[in-house]
Amino acid sequence: MSTLTPFGPQLVGETEKTLNALLRKALHGTGLTESQWVTLRVAALTGAGSADTAGLATVVADRAHFVDAAELVSQLTERGLIVDGRVTAAGRELLESVLARSAALTGPIWEDFADDDLEATTRVLNELLGRARAVLAGATPAISNGMTTGQLAGE
């Protein structure tokens, strides 16, 4: 019988590491590192909001906390996957390919969760992310919208 890992850094960390291992499988053969993949995804998700290479590097550094964000953008630019901070046709093709491979690998993981569980998990993980970002920024994290931790968990 397996014992549940209590909610906290260990559970979040183990989940992230396991999902990253699956991502590495999806990236196999692409020549992309995990950091390059994240950078390419951020470029695709921010679209025209990153008007240039430096702007994209700033967004990547902010969202992914990569100290080498400028180098990652440069590497993707050299590969022709990004130009002037925007994803190229080749970059979009690679994104679509990896996303399809990832969906094939991980699809069953995301199925069959109750809507209430998904809503509670979304609230809690977004609150956790906001608090962690606040700590990184040197602020004291506040509980979102005056809600208690129990309310955030859907209790």
Question: Which amino acid type is present at position 69?
Answer: A
Would the pTM count as exceeding 0.85? no
- Give the residue range(s) of CATH 1.10.10.10 domains in the chain: 9-111
98-151: pLDDT as tens digits: 999 999 999 999 899 999 999 999 999 999 999 988 898 887 666 555 544 444
54-69: pLDDT as tens digits: 889 999 998 888 999 9
CA pair distance 142, 109, nearest whole angstrom: 32
Cβ–Cβ under 8 Å, residues 93 and 122: no
DSSP, residue by residue, 84-102: TTEE-HHHHHHHHHHHHHH
Task: Write down the architecture of domain 9-111 according to CATH.
Answer: Orthogonal Bundle (1.10)
